[in-house]
């Protein structure tokens, strides 16, 4: 037997006239809030540069660990300073 697209099976009597409520699962990544952090850091003092320049950056991140990580990511790109050096 072949079913046609426009034919539908009859609804059971217990479901007639009722609307079923469907709950969607919430994505946890959509629930996390972004916060603004101000991170301050500098390179470690060396004999060549005993007083290194201090850098401040405002970042948006979900928590302070991610904010620090992003700070050092940008420091490495912009100022050639690494976390291991400061």
Measured CA to CA, the distance from residue 85 to residue 42 in angstroms comes to 9
pLDDT at res. 46 = 86
Residue 37 confidence (pLDDT): 95
| Beta-carbon contacts of residue 19 (< 8 Å; ≥ 6 apart) | none
Over residues 8-14, the mean pLDDT reads: 58
Q: Are 43 and 85 in contact (CB under 8 A)?
A: yes
> What does the pLDDT read at residue 31?
67
pLDDT tens digits for 12-44?
Answer: 655 555 555 566 667 666 666 889 999 999 888
Taking only the tens place, the pLDDT of each residue in 36-78 is 999 999 888 889 889 989 999 999 999 999 999 999 999 888 8
């Amino acid at each position: 037997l072949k079913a046609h697209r426009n034919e539908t099976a009859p609804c059971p009597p217990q479901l007639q006239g009722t609307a079923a409520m469907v709950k969607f699962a919430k994505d946890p990544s959509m629930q996390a809030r972004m916060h603004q952090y101000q991170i301050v850091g500098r390179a470690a003092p060396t004999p060549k540069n005993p007083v290194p320049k201090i850098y401040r950056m405002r970042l948006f991140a979900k928590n302070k660990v991610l904010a620090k990580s992003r700070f050092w990511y940008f420091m490495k790109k912009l100022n050639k300073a690494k976390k291991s050096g400061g």
